[in-house]
Each structure stands twice: as structure tokens, then as C-alpha cells.
Amino acid sequence: MKRKVLSLFIAAVFFLALSPHLNLTAQALENGGFLFEINGSTAVITGYSGPENNITIPEIIGEYPVTAIARGALTGGDLTNVYIPASVSQIGDNYCTWGSDIISTAEIVVDEENQQYSSKNGVLYNKEKSILLECPTGKSGTFVIPASVNIIGAQAFAQCVYLTQIILPGSLITVNPYAFAGCIGLSLVDLKNTQSLCLHAFDNCLNLEEVSFANIYLIDERVFCGCGIARLIFHCNAPPMVHEYAFDGNTGLTVFYYNNASGFANSWNGLPTQQLVAPYADAPIGAVTVFDTDRGFIYGLEPALTVTCFENSYVQINGNARLVYEGVFMPALGTGCAVSVIDNETEAVLEEYSIIIFGDSNGDSNIDTSDAGLIVDYENFFIQWDPFEDSAFLKAADVNGDGNIDTGDAAVIVDVENFLLTINQMNGLAVPC
């Protein structure tokens, strides 16, 4: 684990050292409201002074292709939408681990043909959506970061004061400097498997009360400076490396850790500690429920299962915790239904799972022709399942075990509905009735 985090850090530093900064000419030019400068044989957008709120960055100005947008180029004014063309290959100082800081409140849309960047719901990412580069400050309410993201760029959410909840994915590894600085609407943050927090990552999140960690390795200088946090909850087995000023400006802060952890003792980093008993969910004696903690799946369940039946026969909670469910077809527990184990003392999310009913590809907890039809639609590209966000549906649909999702699986489901086959919910494979 240490090697992985260190390698990521070295790679980021190496990239930043080698990435070319924009070498601009001194004279600023203007075209259609866009301010630009010439960098060799290409144009760099440095600002916008026009009257429009919805703007499209030009692909070419005169004979110069537009290949870059300078840092801070579009932070002023009242822009509501910014379209970035395929020609742009550099935004800000560096396009990789540091946020772009080019746009303030505007929704960002990137041309699908762009080879360096992409967008989703108005937010800027790298092409693969593994790095979240910038969230417009006008975003409000709850924002769910896609499961593909493992790095959040510097200042990516800085001053997003209207966001009240940010749900981080289990895939997240690194949060770069000032990524959430000034997000005063946040009160709780669950960092899940995040391994490293760079300096000032949550600087001046004034209303942040509770932060929980599951796999943290490094907390850098002044990460939580001036936040007023009351509770830090560690679900990891050992404390992370921490800078002595990581929690500067927080008074009345208590560190909670679970009884299976070591290294916290009576105090940690000068902060008082309190031990908790770790609750968890598992199968009761005699049940065939499988809790796949590595991939976050629960299976081995019967179709058309209700919450009441599940809690009576398929699961037991060890410790002071409860289960919280989220699904479209509640109270039926179908494929894709989210199950969270919540600590009743701290309200921390201890474990998160997705239900899998093998053969139930639409999540209604039944196995019938509607599931077969959905699989055929998937094979013919009428619908798409995201490998990360829809992993439970992908696993549930492969009922012949060949690693593909196609008409072979659809045929199995039709046979199941007609009582010719049944699906073993322990391994997902069909067998004769």
C-alpha cells in the first residue's frame, strides 16, 4: 500500500515537472469577444469579454488552431455554459493532477472527439474520467462523484459553497491541494478508501463536523485547517502518517477508532481518542448469504425477497448498527439495491453493498422475460451499463458463466421463467429444475 501511494505521488511530481507551461507572447489579442495570445503556431484563450452567457470556444482563430485555455481564463463574468472543442489539449497549467481553475459558475461541456478531456453533468474530467478536474461553483445540493474517479484535482471543488453533500467513490485514491477548500455547505465527509489527502484539501470548510476514513495513509499539512471538526472516525487498522498541523484551528476534536485497530492509544497527534466496538453485517448460522466485502456484493438470496425477510433470515448485525436501503423497487430487494451498514453511535457508514439476484437484470427482484429483453437490448447497444456504477447488473446478467452478456443469457432466463431451468444464487449458474 505504501509503495502504491508513493508511486502515485512520484508520478504526479514527475508529470508536473515535465509538463510544459504556456509560453505566451506579451500582446493580448481579441476575436469575437475571446481574448487570446499566440503560442508558436497555436492560439491560447486567455479570457472572454463578450456579452454572451453561453459560449463556445472556437476551434480556430484565423490561421491558428485553439489548443489551450489559460488558467483563470473564464473565471469572471456570468457565464452559464462553456463548450470546449476537440482541438483543446491543455487547460490551465497542467491537465493531469492539478485542477484547471478556468471556469467559475458555468456548466462545462466537452466535445466527445476531444482526446484529453471529457465532461459529465457539467463537470470537467480527463478523457478516461479517472481525474475530476473542475466542478462549477454554481453546483448545489448533493453531488455524486463517478465510480471511475481515483484522483480529484487541486481546487476542483474550491468555493462550491452551495453543495451540501459530496458522495465520494470507493475508487478514490488521492485528493489534491485545496480540492474542497471553502465548501462551507459540507457537514459530513466519508472518505472511504481514499489513501492520501494533500495540503489544505478541506481548508476552511467551516461547517464540517465529522470525517470518516477507511484506508487513509497520509494526511498532509493543514488538510482540515479551520474546519471546526468535532469527530474523526477511523475504520482502518492503524493510524495514518499525519502532519502535526493537519487539524490546525479545530478545537474540541475527538478521534474515534474501532477495537480491531492499534496505534491510537489514549491520544493521537495530540488529540483525545475514544474506542468503539466495530459492528458489521454477515450471514446468520444456516443461511447461504454471501457477503463479498472485496467487491461490495451481497448474493445467495432468493428472488422477490423483501426487506423484512432479508433481515429475518439472511443477515445479522454484530454490534450497534442498522441497515439502510436504497433501491427503485423497494421494499423488494432486487439487483443493484444499495445496502449500507450504519453505526448507530457515530452515524458513520461502516460497510456498503449492492444486492445481486442472478438473472434479475432490471432490478425488480424477479426473473422473467423483461430481464431477457434488457439483455438483448444491451447486446444490441440500445442500453449501456457502466463497468463501475452498474457492476451488479453486469454480474447478475451473465447467467451462463461465459463472461459475456448476450442472447445466450437471455435464453437461459426465458427457460427459468418457463421452469425448465433454475439459477443457483450462490454461483449465478443455471441448472435443470
Look at residues 34, 86, 35, 42 and name the one whose alpha carbon lies nearest to residue 63.
Answer: 42
Q: Is the dihedral of CA 209, 235, 245, 179 positive or negative?
A: negative
Candidates 99, 204, 199; CA nearest to 156 is 99
Q: Is 187 helix (H, G, I), strand (E, B) or coil?
A: coil
Do residues 327 and 236 share a domain?
A: no
On the 0-12 / 13-18 / 19+ scale of CB atoms within 10 A, 343 is buried
Sign of the alpha-carbon torsion through 96, 100, 106, 112: negative
How high is the pLDDT of residue 147? Answer: 87
Cβ(363)–Cβ(331) below 8 Å: no
The predicted model gives 153-162 an average pLDDT of 92
Report pLDDT for 105: 61
**Model pLDDT, residue 156:** 93
Same domain, yes or no: 79 and 191: no
The pLDDT value given to residue 20: 36
Q: Of 225, 229, 266, 265, nearest to 245 (Cα)?
A: 225
For residue 2, the model assigns a pLDDT of 38
User: Could you tell me if 119 and 126 are in contact, meaning their C-beta atoms sit under 8 angstroms apart?
Assistant: no
Instruction: Clarify whether residues 57 and 196 are in a common domain.
Output: no
Query: What are the C-alpha distances in Å from 385 to residues 282, 345, 362?
Result: 28, 37, 11
Q: How far apart are CA 266 and CA 18, in angstroms?
A: 45
**Is 131 within a domain?**
no
Which of 236, 260, 277 is the C-terminal boundary of a domain? 277
- Report, as an integer, the average pLDDT of 305-328: 90
* Confidence bin at 208 (pLDDT 50/70/90): very high
* Confidence category of residue 205, pLDDT binned at 50, 70, 90: very high
Confidence of residue 103 (pLDDT cuts 50, 70, 90): low
Backbone angle region of 108, left / alpha / beta, with phi > 0 → left and psi within -120 to 50 → alpha: beta
- Do residues 292 and 416 share a domain? yes
pLDDT band at 104 (very low <50, low <70, confident <90, very high): low
Mean pLDDT computed over 27-45 = 86
Residue type, 99: G
The pLDDT, as a whole number, for residue 67 is 94
Same domain, 286 and 414: yes
**Same-domain status, 232 and 156:** yes
Do 152 and 263 lie in one domain? The reply is yes
pLDDT band at 421 (very low <50, low <70, confident <90, very high): very high
Q: How confident is the model over 308-318, as a mean pLDDT?
A: 90
How many residues comprise the chain? 433
107: pLDDT strictly greater than 90: no
Q: Is 90 exceeded by the pLDDT of residue 269?
A: no
In a domain, 371, yes or no: yes
Q: Which of the residue ranges 93-97, 245-249, 413-417 has the most confident prediction, judged by mean pLDDT? A: 413-417
Predicted TM-score (pTM) of the model is 0.64
In terms of pLDDT, which residue wins out, 52 or 102?
A: 52
Are 166 and 188 within 8 A, CB to CB?
no
- Shared domain for 243 and 313, answered yes or no, is no
Neighbours of 379 (CB within 10 A): 17
The count of domains in the chain is 3
Residues 401, 285: one domain? Answer: yes
Per-residue model confidence (pLDDT) at position 371? 96
Domain span including residue 305 = 280-432
Domain end position, chosen among 72, 94, 111: 111
**Domain-embedded: residue 4:** no
CATH code of the domain in which 402 resides: 1.10.1330.10
* Count of Cβ atoms closer than 10 Å to residue 414 Cβ: 16
Same domain, 415 and 286: yes
The percent of residues in the chain predicted with pLDDT above 70, rounded, is 89
Q: pLDDT band at 76, cuts 50/70/90? A: low
pLDDT 10s digits, 223-260: 999 898 999 998 888 899 999 999 998 888 999 987 76
284 against 133, higher pLDDT:
133
**Mean pLDDT, the chain, integer:** 86
Q: Label the pairing between strands 231-234 and 210-213.
A: parallel
Same-domain pairing of 100 and 64: yes
Q: What is the pLDDT of residue 24?
A: 42
Tell me the one-letter amino acid at 83. Y
Residue with cell 514527475: 14
Last residue of a domain, one of 277, 310, 338: 277
Q: What is the mean pLDDT of residues 348-363?
A: 92
Whether residue 213 sits in one domain with residue 160: yes
> Residue 310: helix, strand or coil by DSSP?
helix
